[in-house]
Amino acid sequence: MSDLTKILVIFDLDFTLIDNSFAICKAFNYALESFQINPPMKEKIIEKIGIELKDMFLDYLDDANAERGVHLFRQYYRTHFFEGVKIIPGAIDLLEKLQGLRYKLALLTSKKTELAIKLLEYIDLKKYFDFILGEQQEFKPKPNPEPILYILSKFPKIDKVFMIGDHDVDCLSAKNAGINFIGVLSGNTSEKNLRKCAGEDAIIIKHVGNIDPPIHLI
């Protein structure tokens, strides 16, 4: 068995550890309404959560206005990010187990780092993480490997790395960075699509509460 103190687990945030869709949908609709665009169905927004924010707006706006949409989204979200947030069942238990086993834990999200930290503090999850990385101008977003490779640079003594996420963009990020991937079905990506990315032998489970350390993470 691997030395557990030399294993790093990188978590995605939205639909992997938390459901923040209520605030995200409200912020997205606030931005679109500023352009006199009728808000889409909630399900249409939710299925895009996890990709780069600007790309979400490009389905409705041209490039220049998509940039403005991102600004308006963040303006609203900055003061409403905590509304309706829910922790995915089993997430706290898993984080506590991994911390107790002395795994290194990191978080990689498409949210701005500052807002991700505030949100984690609000729901009392920040204490579990050794490193938190959100969207940064100096890094290309998922699925580019740059963010994961930057996280790896912060843990030079690590022997094995896992990425846990709900979206195929998380899978592609892990694949592009050359690390292991575990998929969870608590988001909107189907098992079929996750396996298409990760491979038929990949570990794909219902939600993080079904991960059994160290069985799945060795």
pLDDT surpassing 80 at residue 151: yes
Instruction: Domain ranges for the chain, please list them.
Output: 4-18+87-210, 21-80
Query: What's the confidence (pLDDT) of residue 218?
Result: 67
Distances (CA, A) of 136 to 70, 108, 142: 14, 11, 11
pLDDT surpassing 80 at residue 41: yes
Band of residue 183 on the pLDDT scale cut at 50, 70, 90: very high
Q: For domain 21-80, which CATH number applies: 1.10.150.240, 3.40.190.10, 1.10.3470.10, 3.30.56.10? A: 1.10.150.240
Quick one: DSSP state of residue 140?
P
Q: For residues 131 and 109, is the Cβ–Cβ distance under 8 A?
A: no
For the chain, what is the mean pLDDT?
Answer: 94
What value does the mean pLDDT take over residues 59-86?
A: 97
Q: In percent, how much of the chain has pLDDT > 90?
A: 89
What value does the mean pLDDT take over residues 139-149?
A: 94
User: Hey, what CATH class is 4-18+87-210 in?
Assistant: alpha beta
Q: For residues 11 and 179, is the Cβ–Cβ distance under 8 A?
A: no
What value does the mean pLDDT take over residues 92-116?
A: 95
Give residue-wise pLDDT tens across range 200-209.
999 999 999 9
Pairwise pLDDT comparison (21 vs 3), residue with the higher score: 21
pLDDT surpassing 70 at residue 47: yes
